Amino acid sequence: MNQSQLCPRFEKAMDILSKRWTALIIYSLLPGPQRFNAIESFLPNLSGKVLSERLRELEAEGLIRRDVYPEVPVRIEYSLTEKGNALSPLLEGIGTWAKQWINPES
């Protein structure tokens, strides 16, 4: 086993995904577009400040899209891009693994 076997893309992907809250924010968008408040109420331990920050980072990484609808009041929705959506089988896989192997009490 040598260093060249470690794909730098894998390391970068893990850097993105392993950032605290990132996977859970993507997970919360799997059912479809959501408004800020809906994501916030889905993740009650996450502060609004950190959520804004993560949403901006995920938008910059091309994982989510921010759509502004010029209604009164203005409506802003976040949704997964194709790149973000491509993570859905992985996140579901983590869910399945967790269900089988993780005891939430321990």
If DSSP codes are grouped into helix, strand and coil, which group holds residue 79? strand
State the DSSP string of 18-39: TSTTHHHHHHHHTTS-EEHHHH
* Site for its own copies contains 28 (CB under 8 A): yes
* Site for its own copies contains 102 (CB under 8 A): yes
* Site for its own copies contains 11 (CB under 8 A): yes
Selection from 48, 53, 82, 43 nearest residue 65 by Cα: 82
* Site for its own copies contains 50 (CB under 8 A): no
Instruction: Pick the piece of the chain touching its own copies (CB under 8 A) from 39-47, 49-57, 72-80.
Output: 39-47
Distances (CA, A) of 76 to 33, 40, 61, 88: 10, 14, 19, 22
* Site for its own copies contains 71 (CB under 8 A): no
Note whether 30 and 91 are within 8 A (CB): yes
Instruction: Tell me the closest approach of the beta carbon of residue 84 to its own copies, in angstroms.
Output: 9
Instruction: Pick the piece of the chain touching its own copies (CB under 8 A) from 51-59, 67-75, 96-104.
Output: 96-104
> CA–CA separation, 95 vs 102, rounded Å?
10
Residues in the site for its own copies, rule: CB under 8 A? Answer: 1-3, 5-14, 16-20, 22-24, 27-28, 31, 34, 38, 41-44, 83, 86-87, 89-90, 93-95, 97-104
